[in-house]
Structure 1
Amino acid sequence: MSIYDQAAAAVLSQIATAADGALIGLALAYVAVRSIVKFKANSSALHKINDAPSLNVSDLRSLLSSSDNSDSSNHSDDGKLVIVRGTVEAKSAVEGNWKSLRANILSAHNSAEKGVILQHTQTCIYNEWRGFFSWAGDLYSIFPRVRKDQQSSSLRTVPFVLIETGRWPQPKYVNVNMDGSTHSLPLVTVYHHLQPLHATPLTFIQALFGHHYPVGVLDEEKILPLGKDITAIGVCSSKDGILEIKSCEDLPYFLSDMTKDQMLVELAFKTKILMWSGVLFGSVAVGVLGYAVVRNWNRWKLWRHQRQAQQQRDAASNDDDVQVSADEESGDVPDGQLCVICLTRRKRAAFVPCGHLVCCQRCALSVERDLAPKCPLCRQTIHSSVRIYDS
């Protein structure tokens, strides 16, 4: 670990332990709240998926018809949450008109594989080496936006449907509406190639002034191939007699390789993890915040008590100053008995614990009020002063 990393770690530890761990408690409380929010979302999704019927493509129309007949207030555009298992096929291949003679599909550039979704990703791989001017690399880590994006990705789709397996050439199908969907897709990698980059003078300069320099480009192509069996879970509706299914924002899945039972098992596991993590982090956060509150409350009470005692000492010193004789204030005082600070009054106060008698009562009180009170003679930390009286 470099000296910069050690300094950053020291600063972070001081910030984290500030106010007796209150900042740590707030961070744990935030994690607990986020876990509870995600637990509620996953629990709701779990109940929705459990209640959603798992159907074949041919059963969708009858389900929507029965739903409309049972409740006249529901419109067909509202749709119903369903789980459908089917095979991917291009929409142009099942339209049944002259357009089907030329299927509208996508072809991977490097592997020539056919599909309805094509994702092309290029990732720049960086090597890490701490050069002679390593502070530049630390600036890159603090301000990551200064560097260029390490990854560029493009996603292309064509209209496609899910057909019922084994019903070709006159299949029952449902259109898949990808508009507004941000869910992960069950894509298959068809091309994966790492192309190394040759060193250039620019690479040498980057390595000299920082510890990030490019060494290669990873080129990947992923597709959703034709004939792949997938599960679609979403809102199914009928528009102009054509079935369509679209994603539901409240659910973590849309198109997936998993079956309904596998989704339920995965969601149930995530729900338990989020619930117990929320309980654990919440309990620790309550304990840390409670400890911080008690410590700061006791510290405030101690400060208030010390302030009251200081005010009482100040009042007593003022009364004592009134009783100081005139010769002590401005009379004839030998040079060896003068206060080392004001040089006008007699030495009357001894510091505790060093015991040095070098100041008058007023100057001793002013020394005590400093943030770090020290004896003017030995520079030792003092706690208080004691008035000395002649016999």
Structure 2
Amino acid sequence: MSFRDHEMAAAVGRLVLAYDGAIAGLALAAFAAVSWVKYLAASAALVRIRRATSVPISGLRSLLSSDDSSDEDGVLVVVRGLVQPSSTVEALGVWPLSKFRDVLTPRGSGERAVAVLSTQTCLYNEWRGMFGWSSDLNALLMRSWKERRSSSLELVPFILADGAKSSNSGYIHVNLDGSAHPLPLTTVYHELHPVQLTPCTFFQAIFGSGYPVALLHEEKILPVGKEITAIGICRPRDGALEIKSCKNLPFFLSDMTKDELEAELNSNTRILLWSGILIGTLSFGILGYALVRNWRKWKEWRTRRREIQDLHDESLIESSMEAEDAPEGELCVICLSTRRRSAFIPCGHLVCCSRCALHVERDSSPKCPVCRQDVRSSIRIYDS
């Protein structure tokens, strides 16, 4: 590890262990709270998915007409069908589709698609550099700041159908308005283009800074004819059926079936539960230890402060009386003007006067001026 990374790691370690681990305990408590919040949300979502009705697309109309329970003017359902562009049902006259495009054709393949996600990512090289400075730790902490990525998403309206050809009762329109859920895309284009080196790149390499080396172009599509699962609110609209995402559910469109979605969400729920329990228990233990340690330190500081205040006046009075009578070999090693009167504990060195011993004790890290051993307190020595 380079000197810069070593210093940064040491600073992070001091911050985490500050106040006998209180900062680390608070950070772990925050992680535990986040885990519990996510666990409660995942548990509620799992219950809703289990209760959701799984029906074929052709049976949705009968379900809506017979089901009294509704959510946001619709019913939570799980359907599975084939992706088809909405223009395939334009002839039925049940949906205003004339202003929409038919399908998309990505440049990476000749497949027909209803969604195309184009992504361009700049890749960086983390070389150590001529001077031995490494940015590995910086890249670990600040990688999101250095990442350069641009993406564009194209969509056309599409439906889920029971078969390759849709009918009036065998399809449902997918409404993506307001949905933040990811789409089940398939990668069809993946190409890496090297970046031309510049004089600036040379200096970046010398000083160990990350510099761009390549551009990664990717295209992902939602192809026509792909079988996917949709879980959301189903409701009629303009004579046709529509399914829309539910904000309280982590899934909307997926390659997995309902059973696979339940299994994955159940696994995530267990992980969040046990992580919340373990991290919460660890944070309580660290915070309890830090509280006891800081309470004891505060009591010791208050006792020491009271003792210092009591001895302060006495040391000032004796300093003027002992300055003339003290032999040269018995003078304080700090002020060189007063007789040695205080011995440090636990090393036992009698090398300071009462006033200088108090100054040593007040230091943030008190150490004996002779042996440099840690000092807990000092004791006044009297001649017999």
Coarse TM-score class (shorter-chain normalised) = 0.7 to 0.9
CA contact (8 A) 2:57 2:169 kept: no
Superposed displacement of residue 111, structure 1: 1.5
Computed over aligned residues only, the root mean square deviation of the Cα atoms, in angstroms, reads 3.4
Secondary structure of 1:107's match? coil
User: Aligned letter for 2:73?
Assistant: D
Superposed displacement of residue 235, structure 1: 0.7
2:262 and 2:144 map into 1 onto residues whose CA distance is 39
The answer on 1:80 being equivalent to 2:75 is yes
1:271 to 259, 269, 272: 269
1:41 matched to which residue of 2? 41
1:26 matched to which residue of 2? 26
User: Aligned letter for 1:13?
Assistant: G
Superposed displacement of residue 43, structure 1: 0.4
1:367 and 1:110 map into 2 onto residues whose CA distance is 76
1:349 to 341, 361, 375: 341
2:122 matched to which residue of 1? 124
1:386 matched to which residue of 2? 380
User: Aligned letter for 2:214?
Assistant: G
State TM-score, norm by structure 1. 0.82
1:150 and 1:241 map into 2 onto residues whose CA distance is 45
Of the structure 1 ranges 128-137 and 47-56, higher mean CA displacement relative to structure 2 is found in 128-137
Secondary structure of 2:91's match? coil
2:234 matched to which residue of 1? 236
Superposed displacement of residue 163, structure 1: 1.2
Q: Deviations over 1:180-199 (max 9, x none)?
A: 11111111112222223343
Superposed displacement of residue 219, structure 1: 1.6
CA contact (8 A) 2:82 2:164 kept: no
Equivalence map 1:1-391=2 (5 Å): 1-67=1-67, 70=68, 78-96=73-91, 104-132=102-130, 141=139, 147=146, 149-165=147-163, 168=166, 172-314=170-312, 317=314, 321=317, 328=321, 341=335, 347=339, 349=341, 351-352=343-344, 353-356=348-351, 359=353, 363=355, 367=359, 370-371=362-363, 372=366, 383-389=377-383
Of the structure 1 ranges 169-178 and 237-246, higher mean CA displacement relative to structure 2 is found in 169-178
CA contact (8 A) 1:365 1:385 kept: no
State TM-score, norm by structure 2. 0.83
Of the structure 1 ranges 379-388 and 26-35, higher mean CA displacement relative to structure 2 is found in 379-388
User: Aligned letter for 1:349?
Assistant: R
Among the aligned pairs, what percent are the same residue? Answer: 44
2:174 and 2:137 map into 1 onto residues whose CA distance is 46
Q: Unaligned 5+ residue runs, structure 1?
A: none
CA contact (8 A) 1:80 1:237 kept: yes
Superposed displacement of residue 212, structure 1: 1.8
User: Aligned letter for 1:276?
Assistant: W
351 and 312 in structure 1: CA distance in 2 versus 1, 3 angstrom threshold: same
User: Aligned letter for 2:53?
Assistant: P
Superposed displacement of residue 338, structure 1: 9.7
Superposed displacement of residue 313, structure 1: 3.8
Q: Deviations over 1:233-277 (max 9, x none)?
A: 111111222211111111111111111111111111111111111
1:58 and 1:334 map into 2 onto residues whose CA distance is 108
Q: Unaligned 5+ residue runs, structure 2?
A: none
204 and 51 in structure 1: CA distance in 2 versus 1, 3 angstrom threshold: same
205 and 171 in structure 1: CA distance in 2 versus 1, 3 angstrom threshold: farther
380 and 214 in structure 1: CA distance in 2 versus 1, 3 angstrom threshold: closer
Aligned residues: 369
